[in-house]
Structure 1
Amino acid sequence: MQQPPAPSVAEEMQSPPPSSLTYNEAVGQPGHFGWNVRPGPPVPQSEAGGADVWKDDRNGGVPLDAFVGGYDNERKIYVGRAHFKDGLIPGKVVPQHGKAFIPWGCKEHALDSYEVLCGNNGKYDWMPTTIQREVPSNAVIGGYSEGNRDTLYICRIVTKDGNHAIGKVHHRCENGFVPYGGKELNTGVFEILVRLF
């Protein structure tokens, strides 16, 4: 049974839509909007080469060398990922809430156990992108989807209240999906996490 479409970031934030793409237009149409994404089994390293380091943690904890992914109410949040429904889903770790939050199935899911991306030494940066651009060759692989185990990349948006939300980019949907306000929001305009070296 097909799930209902997630509300778009534009719908949720009540601002002009960043693009004319809707969830239903993107589903099942890889390459339709011009992305040149190489599907395949995920590996725990970026396409740029060297291994990315993910460390297990739980209950809001983060390693000392965790990569700061953004801010929520002026507090640091981190790039995380968690096992969920047979997938490994990128999202955000919010220490003040003691959880990692991931987008899946039109909802925001809070999890106690997760992995945190480490390397807060200029190794990573956020690159603005849209659905009409190619996924950068140095985009960080954040995990894989359930079922087909499609590669998931890591994205970030700025919410209407100025906070960051970190989530996933799925090559089949060609959108960014982020957990925010209890929902999974989608957008065609986002930043994608890239590896600098």
Structure 2
Amino acid sequence: MNTLRWTRIEKGQALAQNMVIGGHSSDPNDLHYMSRVPINGAMLPGKFYPPKSRFFYAEDGEEKTCNTGEVLVCDDPDVLEWVASSNGDVPTGAVIGGYTIKGEVLYAGRAWKNTELIPGRISSKDERCYVTTGRKEFHERKYEVLAVKQVKPHVERGPEKTALVVGINYVTDEQNRLYGCANDARLMTDLLEGKGFSVTGLSDDIPGWASPTSAQIMDHVENLCRDRQPGDEVIFTYSGHGTQVWDKNSEERDKKDEAIVSSGIEVITDDMLKTVFSKLPHGVKAVAVIDACHSGTLFDGKNVVVSGNKVDDATVYGSIKSSTGSANIGEKYLASRFLDPKDIAGILSEKYGKTVQPNLQSIREAHGERDHGKAWSFGGTMTENVCALVSGCQANEFSYETMINGTRNGFLTWAFNEEVRANPDVTFVDLILKIRKTLSDEGTEQNPCLECAEAMSHWKVFS
């Protein structure tokens, strides 16, 4: 039996088994299935909606329906994937859904229209995906292509050490500009390269580095986590603004998502990062060092090993060892790494010439990103003993930067480097306690935290 095939369905006929889900209405549980219909010598992909036993397709700018067509059936759904694409591009393995009357190949695809995810057809010639809803035809240049997963040959290799370092000074926004984040990126790059890591850097204030836009950051985070094997080590460091933004779809108690902020004032939420890092397999060690406001619990919040206010009141699970640290710190240069959602909305309102509200949906729409409902909502948990988060502060606090020994740096990044260089074999729990002690001695208000499984907290930060 073929794993992937088109099966004919007529009105009143029983539904086929294992039909391929193509999308949904504004209710994510109201499913649409991938289909196609023969029309005037063409075969046009579209959607099949079981409650009405109708096939829907786009033709001549309208939504048309019929009661006979074909549905796509797959006995093994794991062989398929939806691949984001645009402007007529399709990946290797794209599923052919049909053809035009002139013989042009059409691919099975889908696109968002408001909160609906709608199956339709992709025309490489027209560089768009055609979908229908509300009796109208729409064409979108951004879409997803249904494709058969490509089996990659297994390549034997040794463990890899890979890092992504991001430092954003917001050089085009004088009001919210920072001055120590690029220095943080340089400091972390030097440390990590000395530990044998291959480092990729993103910054708006370091010549030769790629710009840290939202798309660049997420693309590089996904590359960082892709095709990882047991024994690999990955590190993601971020220095820049952090925020908390109201999200109507958030599963958090206060309906606020912790987020970091790109150079273009786009927000990257905790759910977006967790969705990628949670896919890492057992045997990989991943570390995130986030020197930004509201960075505590950015990964999960369920495995917080060290938290609380001040060193003496800290909640700690594991061995406690502390050391002192000192530096020449200039108090008058103290600056927080917090960007208020109201300021984000104001910047975008001025930039795009329309009113933007200080919530996640409005901010994304301002950037031309649709509100995909639960698409980025993370309902799972991080893989046990894989990810450790070293945060600059608790979820309700600010992180700061200042002049330290003549150079502007974030407190967390500076202390992290000082402690690791002084104690190369330091464990995660000892590292965070020493950092907290150092910053307490310097009189700072922020309280760095450690989030990971308790067993992982006793591992060495660097193998």
Q: TM-score, normalised by structure 2?
A: 0.30
1:56 maps to 2:11: no
SS of structure 2 residue aligned to 1:122: helix
Structure 1 match to 2:146: 193
User: What residue identity is the alignment partner of 2:79?
Assistant: K
How far the C-alpha of 1:91 sits from its partner, in A, is 0.3
How far the C-alpha of 1:95 sits from its partner, in A, is 0.7
Write the distance in 2 (CA, Å) between the matches of 1:109 and 1:166: 14
Write the distance in 1 (CA, Å) between the matches of 2:77 and 2:94: 17
Structure 2 counterparts to residues 94-105 of structure 1, below 5 A: 94-105=49-60
Structure 2 match to 1:164: 117
The answer to whether the 8 A contact 1:102-1:109 is kept is yes
Higher normalized strand content (fraction of residues): 1
Structure 2 counterparts to residues 34-73 of structure 1, below 5 A: 52-59=4-11, 61-72=14-25, 73=27
Structure 2 counterparts to residues 94-133 of structure 1, below 5 A: 94-119=49-74, 121-131=77-87
Write the distance in 2 (CA, Å) between the matches of 1:130 and 1:183: 21
Write the distance in 2 (CA, Å) between the matches of 1:58 and 1:75: 21
User: What residue identity is the alignment partner of 2:8?
Assistant: D
How far the C-alpha of 1:137 sits from its partner, in A, is 1.6
Structure 2 match to 1:154: 108
How far the C-alpha of 1:123 sits from its partner, in A, is 2.3
SS of structure 2 residue aligned to 1:135: coil
Higher relative contact order (CA 8 A, sep 6+): 1
Write the distance in 1 (CA, Å) between the matches of 2:144 and 2:73: 19
How far the C-alpha of 1:158 sits from its partner, in A, is 2.1
Root mean square deviation of aligned Cα: 1.9
Unaligned runs of 5+ in 1: 1-49
Q: 1:58 to 1:164 in 2, by over 3 A?
A: farther
The answer to whether the 8 A contact 2:109-2:145 is kept is yes
- Kindly, what percent of the aligned residue pairs are identical? 24
Per-residue deviation, residues 74-106 of structure 1 (Å, max 9, x unmatched): 222110000012100000001112201011110
Q: How many residues align?
A: 145
Structure 2 match to 1:141: 96
Structure 2 match to 1:10: none
User: What residue identity is the alignment partner of 1:172?
Assistant: K
Q: Where does structure 1 differ by over 2 angstroms across 4 or more consecutive aligned residues?
A: 58-62
The answer to whether the 8 A contact 1:90-1:153 is kept is yes
Unaligned runs of 5+ in 2: 151-463
Write the distance in 2 (CA, Å) between the matches of 1:105 and 1:85: 13
How far the C-alpha of 1:51 sits from its partner, in A, is 7.2
SS of structure 1 residue aligned to 2:51: helix
Write the distance in 2 (CA, Å) between the matches of 1:98 and 1:108: 16
Write the distance in 1 (CA, Å) between the matches of 2:30 and 2:15: 13
How far the C-alpha of 1:68 sits from its partner, in A, is 1.4
Write the distance in 1 (CA, Å) between the matches of 2:3 and 2:51: 29
How far the C-alpha of 1:52 sits from its partner, in A, is 3.3
Q: TM-score, normalised by structure 1?
A: 0.68
Higher normalized helix content (fraction of residues): 2
